[in-house]
Structure 1
């Protein structure tokens, strides 16, 4: 998946525990967290494992933790191969998310789980941080499973039901070809710990898709409180964004908007606009590469 999409790989040397009798899985990344994890009162490492579904095994796990800590745990009990494939992709997607946000973010994630249970009820400190993370994990698990076993199902509505979690948002952004997996992943950075901050990051990176992004959230019960980007008086109707150009290419349109483009390998990128070309940063022309623009008939 990583070579295909450009999404960052999980950290090296993952320690993964697989349990045939467990039905639940998790990505606590315990070996990687160096920041304090907040718990008090009745919470403890034992409670943490109870909260993520491991029940009476928590005592044994608590003893094992003195010697070794897992990054990922996979429970295969009673699961079909397809379900295991879904779960593994879900958890590895979390591990890739960790690669991008690091220990401090993940410590808050784990603190939420320890305090409120596996996913809680959508309230409490860092609830939306958890919500954003599970949007990514659940949607990627299901998308990868459907890509392998039932590609036509990717055109249907999100196939699962959750309490307050909304992976439906990322599913719809993919289904409707608004954003790619990589474009979504690129928004899951340090500081994106609420829905509004996620929307703001998406607006920042993909301003031309603001209406479609907003719709994916509102259609699934999340109303963003984020101003849409100002595109000025000019109405753009042709968008060339998030590209690396390694061979010569011509892009045409009336009012072209381009952003986040790099031209490499002595390639020549040509914009042919009937009216205008707007270039927003970042935009790079590497040594030996060329950019040509023509406007008007």
Structure 2
């Protein structure tokens, strides 16, 4: 059993996907194959993760038809610009072993070089018009980034992938997404698992939160399952990451129970307004020094 969300261009996307951020390349293919065998039909990767090729290998090993799997990846900032982003699509599809992507998104707003961001998004619009991608979107865009982008482009993003978990739920960004018909997708959807290097080493682990634990005890599920259910019942997409087969299966077993309105509200109230990952508004010029390999 799974759940599908309909994007603003009518494309259906499985609500729950496997994320592979920080998944070592040597473990990624097996994790993807395991997830697809469990029932996942949505895989999220990125050029900057360095494991697109292994994602493609895991998909191949699964034996599933290409049309049954929703593949999402991201263009890294060093490949922003119109021609550069068209080439980034070629690199990604070559590594993944496919000729079409289901969702291609920009990884960061890169506010200090936003003209390049706009040009990159215009390349995504071209790829969409040519049928080489089924949907396009962005990641880590705040309200003002979306406003600036929409003022200079034609197609509203289908997805905005942002850090989103009970301790950092970004209500203003979610509201902006809703106002424009953009689906909010959560990275680090259960919090406390994915450590963004250099950020959040002192943070609290949401998995150990007593409120989440109490809800989990009441419904007879794990804290991770409760938080994923919280994401799904709020109409969001979530992409939990794991290479552990048991946890991959655990994270998918969230479609056969519901949280009450009171339980959802108790988790909503945990928001601290403090992010664990980097602030998308802080320029990081070193991001542009990273070269995404051709193969």
Q: TM-score per shorter chain, which class?
A: under 0.3
Richer in strand (by share):
1
**Higher RCO (CA-CA < 8 Å; seq separation 6+):** 2
When Rg is computed on C-alpha atoms for both structures, the one with the higher figure is 1
